[in-house]
Structure 1
């Protein structure tokens, strides 16, 4: 079952795709230019929708690297992990996109 965040992302991306298709239907450009415009709109929609998630994953990777150094005791590592998960609950608990 998709989360509401993922459902919202999916709908936003789908709308961007449909908007791009509708916009290119009235353009006078070549078929290839129209296809490229739709691909560009899809890419921009994906980039926009997943930017926050990518940032959260980068933070989590940094925290994991710090924990992996072994410089922290078990309690400090657990505390750091919990703080990070609390700050990024959606990024840590993603289901299927659709």
Structure 2
């Protein structure tokens, strides 16, 4: 009852040719093939990205903290020179 017979396929091909024309069918098939290749490449890259993330997570799970380092002596704060007396910006412009 639901089986496709050769004459069903022939009728389908004739209807497609009448609807789209003989020139447009090869172009449509070509663009469909390109689209499928793009989708396949994108899904493959998504799987690769997931695999890379899983590998990075596994690498980080083996993380060992570094042993504590010896303490370094803190540098003594230096004595800074006394700041100069503030200059009025208006006076500075007048001098130049």
Normalising by structure 1, what TM-score? 0.29
Higher relative contact order (CA 8 A, sep 6+): 1
- Higher fraction of helix: 1
Q: Computing the radius of gyration over CA atoms, which structure comes out larger, 1 or 2? A: 2
